[in-house]
Structure 1
Amino acid sequence: MKMVEGHFMRIPFSVGVVVLALIVLPVRGEDWNEFRGPTGQGEVSGVSLPVEWNDSESDSENILWKQQLDGLAWSSPIVVDGKIFMTCASEESEDSLSLQLIALDAETGDEFWRRELWTHSDDVQVHKKNSHASPTPICDGEHLYAHFGPQGTACVTLDGEIVWKQKLEYKPVHGNGGSPALAEGVLVICCDGGDRQFVVGLDRASGDIRWRTERETDPKKGFSFSTPLVIEVNGQQQAVCPGSDAVFVYDPQTGEEIWRVDYPGGYSVTPRPVYGNGLVYVCTGFNKPQLLAIDPTGTGNVTETHLRWSADRAIPHSPSPVFFEDSVYVVSDKGIATCFDAESGEVVWQERLGGNFSASPIVSDRKLYFQDETGTGIVLKASREFEELSRNNIGSGERTFASYAVDGDSILLRSESHLYRIGRN
């Protein structure tokens, strides 16, 4: 069921700690403009990222700078035109939170500006592994789009001026989570609460709701947190939007459903899908997570006709998959990494990395970069043979649920209270 709705229509920061070696930054590559980068799938091309780093009292290897952050947020950084943009939720008073968008200098970590977008009571309940600012902002090169679940969605210029605001009414469970996706002039957002589940397309210029499509399911637990992935199949754009009980795929310009695959009982779906080898790879969330490989060329309910393979051992609840060449790589929340043959679903290798994982991995220069929940970075070969290349840490033991971002040949790592730029010094 689809319906069109109407339109709803602006600071200070603690001094950062900057640790600088003699830094020579390379020519900047493609902007890291959304969650999981320019493709939305954690792929990094044309650069060589560091394989080893360390931040401790006795040694600081390849840590170009370290900036202290206030406020708790698990959104990932994005990088556009030499600036880092992030959201945060800072305490405004004993019972109020300030939901903000901040801009930092990518070379030094110094703050350029911050904008408060909303305030709300801090008695809003979130899961202990969540925050009040978990969705990652997205940029179209001229404007930033920051989403805070039902607290609001905003469009802001690169200089921090607010262009529009929009509110989407639903009741999330455990707080907000999924990030927006862009498809030409439309901002696509999954709104999966405990009370209602729908997907919207906001007009990028005005914030008006172009379309709103209800999910045609009746799940026992309707809440999910996935980020749409916009792909092109046979010349047509598709917005792949996993939710509870099913993945729905919509025309991002109209909200019309193209196809769906059911997985009854799946809920709290968090991983973002990936697309490669002509297949879409979707994780189904809790209870028993599965990885589904789906042919996206069908129409209607294609559960019985276009599901090419599925796997249900050591599949992640939280981290997104990575597709590279002929393989799909995942790490479970409990630290088991698996390489699947992308065509058949056959397990090529499966190894225990140790630790617990929430962040989504990236792939660069034939290497896989994983990060556990205490800041340990594990680098593996992206290969049909398992090989661990390094194991790195930031020493503080702070929680690290946010996913990596990349700027040039440097990694940006967000911990509970710091942002690190990791490069070669």
Structure 2
Amino acid sequence: MNPATVPDPSPELLQRAAAVRRSAMALAQRSDGERQAALQAMADGLEACREAILAANRADLEAAAADGLAPALVARLKLDGTKLDGAIEGVRQVAALDDPVGRRQLHTELDQGLELERISVPLGVVGVIFEARPDAVMQIAALAIRSGNGAILKGGREASRSCAAIIEALRAGLAGSAVAPSALELLTSREESLALLKLDGLVDLIIPRGSNALVRFIQDNTRIPVLGHADGICHLYVDAAADCDQALRVALDAKTQYPAACNAIETLLVHEGVAPLFLPRAVQAFAAAAVELRGDAAAMALGVSHAASEDDWRTEYSDLILAVRVVPSLDAALEHIATYGSRHTDAICTTDAEAAERFLAAVDSAGVYVNCSTRFADGFRYGFGAEVGISTQTLPPRGPVGLEGLVTYRYHLRGEGHIAADYASGRRRFSHRSLPL
């Protein structure tokens, strides 16, 4: 597609987006307690509609099976009772988080009676487009309302019934709170999701959660700022000084605990000094977990059965497939990650403290780990309650984006009739004295 194929918003969509904007402006003025209560009401709404949500998801799964949806997408689509209960608890946990709005980040006396403050404020309206992840509706809605933002959400066609049931439950809960249900809006058609890209002036940030192709298309076809990641090509490097038992446990978790996740590893790098000891054991363990290994010549000589191509180093499988390369040094591992990585999350297993520190300093990814699974790259696991997505851009926010990533700031300046001409002429001088936050 090219920009010309992105349709203009319909009058009806413009009206709905404007309603979200108005609700977001009102929401930004609600107190911390009112926003906390709104999230508790949203959680209550989800619990009250629990059976309807699960039934809608079962219908989505049946339709997905009939359509031959890819296994990785089916895994993301499934919302069973345990997963729903966890998501509801996640909403309540977000309610309990510290308020990100109204924080004074800077407080300076420019001159006597002239004080400058920098105060955190909501972004306004976030537009979130995601594929096959109905639980994302709950996470994003909770984070948006808690941080004082309105949200326009668009899930994948395969999750349409689930998303509709969830948004209905959330809005029903908000109806009894101080926050207007119109602060949350769900788009239902492909045409609407495309037109969302042209809602600059009404939408302040777009967050795509999905395939490389989805994210690239959005980045190329909107003037609205985009926060997200196009690829999740994560690496685990097993260093010469690795504890092999520990490294194998970490590698298995990072690949198999949830292979459809963007923080699952797609490439395993193994130092040639430890490869003869580590790889035969790893081949056996991954085979038992039904993982297909694709390796370079050195890895194949140690038991990997499939040959890796150049494309394998650049591929996000989101499946039980893992590329394996034997490298001669830490420098070679760092070079491989710099060449093929997506700056998402990369890890090293080593008992060498110097090697660990070099890895931490050299790998330019949102998450850089030592002796632990890349699967920890998650807003809930970081203690954020939930996340709206993971950003791999260099500028903040970076990594899992929670409440802190959904606020910006304003400068407030309070004076007593001060004018710039007095300082230009030298009649008055700035003090620039720091004041308590």
* Structure of higher CA gyration radius: 2
TM-score of the pair, normalised by structure 2: 0.25
With CA pairs under 8 Å and 6+ residues apart, which has the higher RCO, 1 or 2? Answer: 2
TM-score of the pair, normalised by structure 1: 0.26
